[in-house]
Amino acid sequence: MVRGASTAGPANTVTVSVTAKALVAEDVVTLTLERPDEGRLPDWTPGSHIDLVLPNGLTRQYSLCGDRWDARSYRVGILREPASRRGGSGSGSGYVHDELWPGDRVGIGGPRNNFHLVPSETYLFIAGGIGITPLLPMIHQADLMGAQWNLLYGGRRRMSMAFLDELAGYGECVHVVPQDEFGLLDLSSWLDAPRPDVKVYCCGPAGLLDAVEAACRTWPPHALRTERFAAREQDAPVHGAPFDVELRRSGATVTVTPDISVLDAVGAAGIEVFSSCRQGVCGTCETTVLEGRPDHRDSILDADERAVGACMFICVSRSCTDRLVLDL
* Residues in contact with ligand FES by the rule CB under 6 A: 275-278, 280-285, 298, 313, 315
Cα–Cα dist 312/220, whole Å? 25
Residues 6+ apart with CB under 8 A from 305: 311
- Least distance (Å) between residue 223 CB and ligand FES: 25
Q: Which is nearer to ligand FES, 225 or 296 (CB)?
A: 296
Cβ closer to ligand FES: 212 or 282? 282
Contact 152, 203 (CB under 8 A): no
Q: What is the CA radius of gyration of the chain?
A: 20
- Nearest approach in angstroms of CB 285 to ligand FES is 3
**Residue 55, H or E segment:** none
Contact 68, 44 (CB under 8 A): yes
Cβ 222 to ligand FES shortest distance, Å:
21
Q: How far is the CB of 272 from ligand FES (least distance, A)?
A: 13
The beta-carbon contacts of 240-244 under 8 Å, at least 24 apart in sequence, are: 243/318, 243/319, 243/321, 243/322, 243/323, 243/324, 244/322, 244/323, 244/324
| Closer residue to ligand FES, CB minimum distance, 208 or 314 | 314
Beta-strand ranges (E) seen in the chain are 2-6, 14-25, 28-34, 48-53, 59-63, 74-79, 105-113, 122-128, 148-155, 174-178, 198-204, 224-228, 243-247, 252-256, 286-291, 294-295, 311-313, 318-319, 323-326
Residue 79: CB minimum distance to ligand FES, A: 20
**What's the min distance (Å) between Cβ of 215 and ligand FES?**
27
For ligand FES, the closer of residues 28 and 58 by Cβ is 58
CA distance 111 to 141: 18
Question: Minimum CB separation from ligand FES for residue 4, in Å?
Answer: 6
* Listed residue (75, 115, 137) closest to 281, CA to CA: 115
Q: Which helix (H) or strand (E) holds 209?
A: helix 206-215
C-beta closer to ligand FES: residue 74 or 313:
313
Which residue lies nearer to ligand FES by CB, 132 or 277?
277
Question: Which of 48/120 has CB closer to ligand FES?
Answer: 48
